A and B are shown apart, each in its own frame.
Chain A
């Protein structure tokens, strides 16, 4: 990037010939600002016809709509598919992110695993972008005060739900990948953080957070016109 800008400066004697250049510079500045300050959808009017998921990721945000629900082959909880206006796709199940398409740096699919009591205990994850296929992660429950949970704007809004139930898990590579614990590729998945906030009465998803690594998090808030957090 530095070289690009330097080159542009060196080429500057000719820039005046391009009438649209001023507009392009302004657009680039606006895009840079917008990237650093993704829009908030807190005050966006919601249609009672839809269920929404407000999503915040590094340098981007989206208001997604629930497009479908599927009953998976195993375990409990529906797989919910959320879609944005930009054709990004996010899947959640039992409050966990379990898949995506078109979302930069996020894994593509995961299958949740449950213990006989119906509690989440692991996931098998595919992240073709990192060259990771069928990697088994154990999800270990964590005390909330032992994780670096920031009180973000989205979490603060989620806490408007009285008695919000927050639970956290750490992802750890399973035993069959124990030889791989030093592999940087798999290390990218180790110690991932999963947080799910559910409604105290219905048990439905209110808030979720997934951090593949520190600083690389995606958080989401479920909203409806009736419960517009």
Chain B
């Protein structure tokens, strides 16, 4: 349909879809003679159909007449809600601003409640027609309102309002400056599409900007405004219902108007896009300048690997950021002018030290206050580089400055006495670290002794990839560990970071005035880590209309397996519910996999089936169910705006019922599986350097009953450099883990495990498992486990008891003499705080020692987990040996995040400073907690 060109570019066109007009709105009242006649309403038609009938398409209509980004689809049914929204906003403004005599309240009072339903994306009718889930359906009383394209933006602030001409390519801070509103730190950009963006616009927090469109609203309460951020959020949400920015005709323009400083745009139009301040690693791996830390942190979920070289130190660091306020990790420091030990023991291997560091943010940056962090260096190692510091960072646009005070290694110049000396004389002197076996926290030395100032500045140059750094070092390098002083001709270090890619940095600089510093760091935010799933089967379309009356279950289950990898061995029905028994099913993300299952079932099952239930049967035990509400599923996939966001999602996790079901289809259970796999392992940080081994493995499983099975692995050494593996484990305890070398090199062909297992369920939430055979590489025996895990519960409790005997080094069926009873009582607690899961187990370990293991981990919404654990037992630090007690840091990442295909399971990255015999647990290869993971209340919340 051809749309005639309007002679009134800014006239409003109201396309009414109703025979009875919607309640009059200010916008409707302001409308001029519509250039398009009202079309006939077709009850229940889609918005796309209406727009197509009227030819309202991008590139087809003249945007001066019909500005499609400002299109308002107004629902009569939403008017009452928007009236309430406006009243609530006015009340908040009244309370916060002490009355209605202000520009905000006066404007809100004049703006109409529109009932606008904000579209999730574009208003391109032809695209909407391809995506019914984005295409709202029109009802009697609804309106479609289209205005011409405005050529201005409206800036709202404590000062009043300001109508600024639109300039293509210009960022929000320039508009604020033109209205003299540049004292704001945050601005709310409300596009005419209804999309709201919260923009950082202060000199200390500015970052990449979303550009305003013509007709955008910019809400910018000034620094220290009485309008809180929450109120501004609510204000912006209300403005989103208004379409392209315009002031109501009755608004008292003169009272609040602010003149526009147009000169601003001369510069702003040619300015480079605003940027965040880059956060980069120091030579130590933690975020900082070169030798000195800053108070900055990477986003939660980040991890980095940094390798650096500053004579005589080579440092290899891995740092994790489990929370916005905590950075922690470990490091290997190689001192290349010192040997690992006597030549007859370690040859020419250089001295290697292991460090654990932590940095905690105490205060976040704001307009006038810097970000402040406190850090501990080398807390869990030999304390050769032990240091503590307090540091503050403040940003000024492209410059990020920091100033700190360090104790210990980083403040070794000792320029100042301790500022804590007034508390106690103990703080004046730093006692020598009693490192003992290493690994203990040398808390008696923390924040003690003389201090030095350190600090510096980072400049993000106009060349986006280049960052320059300049710092004042707190160390004079005269008290280096192992009597290794270094010449220093200047305490000013300087260097550059070249940002090769978004996840790779190169570092180059000069330290001590005479020493080259080079490094590379790799980093990634794993909380948003994902790979597009281009190798997954294409999702099936969800359509409405007649469904088949008959089901070919064999074919349907085949299609279900293609889409989900789930094997269904039984289908039952009760009334309008169909229940599928998923045997030993797993999923990378259950919510996504359920959607795929629902697509298949919706396509193949008759209309009278309203509920799809997935019953998960793991090794014969029912561990939980997910139920899909078919009607809601179809509505969500084929309609827009009908399901309230607060409405219960169509997927639900339930315990399951014992109602009688009618079996409609059964598949035989798989009796036998066999597959090959490639295995790899490495040994790091010992006297023999880096050791690796590749093995070819063959895994077999034989199912005797649905609850009982035999599983085993055969392995063959393919390639390794274990001929260099000379370090023999020594221990004062029974050698339950330190015979690592013997188990690795004695035989080429091994049987890592071969065990008969059985799993069952006493009652809902009560699970048990028993097993016996070659349980792991080093131990054989028998045991059992019981777990109580309430459905959707925040905790679980389990107990395992095992009697095991040490296996022969050949890893065949022979056994050695050492025998032990081992087992633990374990509690799993979802703390509800910052997504922290705490696992605490108490019991007897493999060496017969008794104690407790505590594990804290933070889980992100995509399933990535970062955590740390420590075990203390009744073994003394001397008997335990180097490291004093068992501990480690780990990260798990869903395999699915790495690949183009969805697969279940996690990649585990574990760093344990040393393998010792104390605090060692049996690797049972079977965990009821893992088997019942579907009972986790977060199962349906995980998203890629």
Mark A residues whose CB is within 8 Å of B.
Answer: 1-4, 6-25, 27-28, 30-31, 34-35, 67-68, 70-74, 79, 81, 83, 87, 89, 91, 93, 98-99, 101-102, 108-112, 124, 126, 128, 131-135, 177, 179-186
Contacts and interface: CB of A to CB of B under 8 A. Distances in A.
A91 B58 contact: yes
B49 interface: no
Given A19-B699, A124-B63, A185-B211, A70 B681 contact: no
A185 B169 contact: yes
A6 B62 contact: no
B2 A73 contact: yes
Nearest to A181: B270
Interface stretch (B121-129, B287-295, B760-768, B833-841): B121-129
B907 A73 contact: no
Interface in B125-156: 126-127, 130-131, 149
B214, B503, B522, most chain A CB atoms within 10 A: B522
Interface stretch (B326-334, B479-487, B845-853, B895-903): B895-903
Contact of A2 (B209, B522, B531): B522
B895 A131 contact: no
A71 B61 CA distance: 9
Nearest to B896: A24
A171 to B, nearest CB: 14
Nearest to B211: A131
Contacts of A72: 2, 59-61
17 contacts: A3-B305, A7-B893, A8-B907, A11-B908, A15-B678, A15-B679, A20-B895, A20-B905, A24-B899, A71-B60, A72-B60, A132-B169, A133-B213, A177-B168, A177-B169, A179-B269, A183-B169
A3 B523 contact: yes
A6 B63 contact: no
A133 B63 CA distance: 12
A105 to B, nearest CB: 15
A25 B535 CA distance: 11
Contacts of A10: 682, 909
Contacts of B229: none
Contacts of B904: 18, 20
B168 A132 contact: yes
Nearest to A25: B899
A183 B680 contact: no
Given A16-B697, A17-B905, A101-B122, A27 B272 contact: no
B213 to A, nearest CB: 4
Contacts of B503: 1-3
B900 A28 contact: yes
B5 A74 contact: yes
B316 to A, nearest CB: 12
Given A19-B677, A73-B61, A3 B898 contact: no
Interface string B269-287: 1111100000000000000
A14 B925 CA distance: 12
B534 interface: yes
A53 to B, nearest CB: 15
A134 B63 contact: yes
Given A27-B901, A101-B127, A186 B169 contact: yes
Given A24-B895, A81-B126, A89-B130, A3 B903 contact: no
B607 interface: no
B210 interface: yes
> Which 10 residue pairs spanning A and B have beta carbons closest together?
A131-B211, A109-B58, A27-B535, A182-B270, A3-B522, A11-B907, A16-B679, A12-B680, A179-B269, A24-B899
Contacts of B124: 89, 99, 101, 108-109
Contacts of A134: 63, 149, 166, 168, 213-214
A180 B272 CA distance: 10
Contact of A71 (B2, B63, B65): B2
A60 B481 CA distance: 57
A183 B59 contact: no
Contact of B903 (A18, A68, A73, A131): A18
B189 to A, nearest CB: 11
A73 B9 CA distance: 13
A18 to B, nearest CB: 4
Contact of B270 (A22, A23, A93, A179): A179
Contacts of A18: 895, 903-905
Given A3-B305, A24-B901, A93-B59, A184 B273 contact: yes
B898 A4 contact: yes
Contacts of A15: 677-680, 907
Contact of B60 (A19, A27, A73, A186): A73
Nearest to B681: A13
Given A21-B895, A24-B901, A183-B169, A108 B272 contact: no
Contacts of A19: 675, 677, 699
B269 A180 contact: yes
Q: Which of A67, A71, A133 has the most CB of B within 10 A?
A: A133
Nearest to B209: A131
A32 B873 CA distance: 50
B907 A14 contact: yes
A20 B565 contact: yes
Contacts of A70: 55, 57, 60
Contacts of A12: 679-682
Contacts of A110: 59
B561 to A, nearest CB: 13
A182 B169 CA distance: 10
B524 interface: yes
Nearest to B752: A16
Given A73-B5, A101-B122, A111-B62, A133 B697 contact: no
Nearest to A183: B169
Contacts of B678: 15-16, 22
A18 B898 CA distance: 13
Contact of A183 (B60, B271, B304): B271
Interface string B541-571: 0000000000000000000000001000000
